[in-house]
Amino acid sequence: MRGAISAQQAVYKLHQAAAVPSWQIHGRRAGPGHAVGRLARALLGITPDEASPARRGFHVNAAAQDLEEVGRAFVCGYNAALLDPRPQALESRLALTPPAMRGFAYEGAAMALALLDLMLPWRASLWQQLHAGSGARHTYMLHVGAGWALARLPVAVDKYLERFDPLLRWLVVDGYGFHEGYFHAAATLGAHRIPARLAGYARRAFDQGLGRSLWFVCGADPQRVAHSIASFAPPRQDDLWGGVGLAATYAGAAPAPALQSLALLARQHAGALAQGAAFAAKARLHAGNPVPHNELACHILARTSLAAAAAVTDTCLDGLQAAGPGLPAYEIWRRRIGEALPARERAQPPMRTAATGGVVS
Lowest mean pLDDT among 44-53, 118-127, 143-152, 256-265: 44-53
pLDDT-above-70 percentage for the chain: 82
Instruction: List Cα–Cα distances, 202 to 270, 274, 279, 292, 353, in angstroms.
Output: 22, 21, 18, 33, 11
> What confidence score (pLDDT) does residue 277 get?
98
| Higher local confidence (pLDDT), 15 or 213 | 213
Q: Which helix (H) or strand (E) holds 193?
A: strand 193-194
Whether the CB-CB separation of 337 and 267 falls below 8 Å is answered with: no
Q: Is the pLDDT of residue 16 over 50?
A: no
Lowest mean pLDDT among 206-210, 285-289, 341-345: 341-345
Q: Is the pLDDT of residue 254 over 50?
A: yes
| Higher local confidence (pLDDT), 326 or 39 | 326
Mean pLDDT score of the chain, rounded to an integer?
85
Q: Is the pLDDT of residue 182 over 70?
A: yes
| Higher local confidence (pLDDT), 13 or 300 | 300
Report the interhelical angle of 139-152 vs 170-183 (nearest 10°).
Answer: 60
Q: Is the pLDDT of residue 206 over 90?
A: yes
Query: Is the CA virtual torsion 161, 164, 169, 172 positive or negative?
Result: negative
Interacting residues of 190 by C-beta distance below 8 A, sequence separation 6+: none
Query: How sure is the predictor about 292, in pLDDT bands with cuts at 50, 70 and 90?
Result: very high
Lowest mean pLDDT among 16-20, 93-97, 98-102, 331-335: 16-20
Q: Is the pLDDT of residue 253 over 50?
A: yes
| Higher local confidence (pLDDT), 16 or 23 | 16
> What confidence score (pLDDT) does residue 12 get?
32
pLDDT-above-90 percentage for the chain: 70
Instruction: Give the span between the Cα atoms of 330 and 286, in whole angstroms.
Output: 18
Whether the CB-CB separation of 187 and 361 falls below 8 Å is answered with: yes
Q: Is the pLDDT of residue 117 over 90?
A: yes
Q: Is the pLDDT of residue 346 over 90?
A: no
| Higher local confidence (pLDDT), 230 or 12 | 230
> What confidence score (pLDDT) does residue 24 get?
30
